[in-house]
């Protein structure tokens, strides 16, 4: 039985989350708390396996509470975040501090009655309870002053490799470790799917851009892939790469969700696998579920080099494990070695 402590300053949200979680017979809500101070007291007595934690609370806010929980108890924590730019930035800070994942607090709380959202909450709690919160993947803060994107030039368009990266739970911290390993002049363009809602992917792109040698942005429909640039699929949009004349171009769409997801790693990787005339690298990082498994199979069929993050450094080993099980992965590596492996492979 997974014991959950629900922490939120809204009594209604506490009740709704509790009602959703107790629908599953493997989950028990052992208590609730209305602020961080009360939460820390209840952790001592109730001994939960996992905590859901609101970011904005009186007396002690979510970030401060999170730091106490991580340092003293090393419990997995899932943040409950508002769907705003400010909420996205605070959530990314929380993920930096050691939260393993987050759930969006709907602007309309009655939407929590939808089955899809109920299932997401339950699945994240189950995966989170098995996660490894003690993994510390710190960002390599280089604070490189540069514009988000410079004027496109002919030279920027010339590259020989496409790197396709897919990740979910634990992904923001993993990307902060991996992407700064790529040199500014890397002979590749990088496309990334990280499962996140709208606004969050833009904040993530800006944060990654600030610590990386390459330039990183939230992808827009019609973007031309450039050398030394990374493109993160925007929340709620599938992202594909297509060849148009001499360019590789990003296409976004809002076609049906796949396994409840939009964007999906599979759709992105399957599109990359079809592109001729480029060498390709497929990378599956930490994440819940099996998204990316079909995509990595297609990439391998089309002579791509494939890498998966190992279990010891994955916050949740679901996505890498599923991809590895297909026998379509060339190398299984700790996160810290993946960047160097890719760079070495491109230079061969």
154-347 CATH pick, 3.40.190.10, 3.30.460.80, 3.90.1150.10, 3.40.50.180: 3.40.50.180
Q: Which residue has the higher pLDDT, 313 or 131?
A: 313
Active site residue 68: no
Identify the pLDDT of residue 137: 47
171-196 pLDDT, tens per residue?
A: 999 999 999 999 999 999 999 999 99
pLDDT at 86 over 50: yes
Which residue in the list 81, 82, 104, 168 is annotated as catalytic?
168
Q: Which residues pair with 283 in a beta bridge?
A: 165, 307
* Choice among 49, 81, 156, 195 that is catalytic: 195
Cβ–Cβ < 8 Å for 292, 319: yes
pLDDT at 237 over 70: yes
Q: What is the pLDDT of residue 326?
A: 97
Determine the 3-state secondary structure of 50 from DSSP: strand
Residue 218 banded pLDDT, cuts 50, 70, 90 = very high
Residue 291 a catalytic site member: yes
Query: In the chain, where are the structural domains located?
Result: 2-130, 154-347
Average the pLDDT over each of 64-68, 72-76, 86-90, 98-102 and give the range with the smallest value.
Answer: 86-90
pLDDT at 144 over 50: no
Phi, psi of 126 (to 5 degrees): -65, -45
* Closest alpha carbon to 71 in 98, 94, 90: 98
Give the per-residue pLDDT at 36: 94
Sign of the C-alpha dihedral computed for residues 341, 241, 299 and 267 taken in this order: positive
Sign of the torsion angle spanned by Cα atoms 232, 238, 240, 244: negative
CATH architecture assignment, domain 2-130: 3-Layer(aba) Sandwich (3.40)
Which is the catalytic residue, given 101, 223, 266, 291? 291
Residue that is written with structure tokens 């993160």 in the block: 232
Per the annotation, the verdict on 229 as an active-site residue is no
């Amino acid at each position: 039985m997974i014991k959950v402590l629900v922490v939120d300053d809204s009594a209604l949200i506490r009740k709704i989350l509790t009602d959703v979680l107790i629908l599953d017979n493997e989950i028990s809500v052992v208590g609730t708390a209305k602020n961080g101070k009360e939460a820390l007291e209840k952790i001592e007595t109730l001994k939960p396996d996992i905590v859901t934690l609101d970011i904005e609370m009186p007396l002690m806010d979510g970030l401060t509470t999170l730091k106490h929980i991580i340092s003293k108890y090393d419990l997995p924590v899932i943040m409950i975040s508002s769907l705003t730019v400010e909420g996205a930035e605070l959530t990314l800070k929380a993920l930096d501090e050691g939260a393993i994942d987050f759930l969006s607090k709907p602007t309309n709380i009655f939407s929590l009655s939808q089955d899809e959202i109920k299932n997401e909450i339950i699945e994240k709690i189950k995966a989170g309870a098995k996660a490894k919160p003690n993994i510390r993947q710190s960002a390599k803060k280089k604070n490189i002053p540069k514009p988000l994107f410079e004027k496109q030039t002919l030279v920027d368009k010339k590259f020989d490799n496409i790197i396709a990266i897919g990740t979910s739970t634990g992904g923001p911290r993993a990307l902060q470790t991996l992407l700064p390993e790529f040199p500014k002049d890397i002979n590749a363009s990088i496309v990334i799917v990280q499962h996140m809602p709208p606004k969050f992917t833009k904040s993530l792109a800006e944060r990654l851009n600030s610590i990386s040698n390459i330039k990183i942005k939230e992808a827009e429909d019609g973007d031309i892939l450039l050398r030394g640039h990374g493109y993160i699929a925007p929340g709620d949009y599938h992202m594909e790469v297509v060849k148009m004349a001499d360019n590789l171009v990003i296409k976004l769409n809002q076609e049906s969700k796949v396994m409840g997801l939009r964007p999906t790693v599979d759709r992105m990787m399957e599109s990359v696998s079809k592109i001729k005339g480029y060498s390709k690298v497929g990378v599956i990082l930490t994440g819940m579920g099996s998204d990316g498994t079909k995509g990595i199979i297609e990439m391998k069929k089309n002579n791509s080099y494939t890498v998966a993050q190992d279990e010891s450094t994955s916050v949740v080993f679901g996505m890498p494990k599923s991809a590895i099980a297909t026998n379509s992965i060339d190398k299984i590596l700790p996160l810290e070695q993946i960047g160097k492996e890719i760079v070495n492979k491109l230079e061969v």
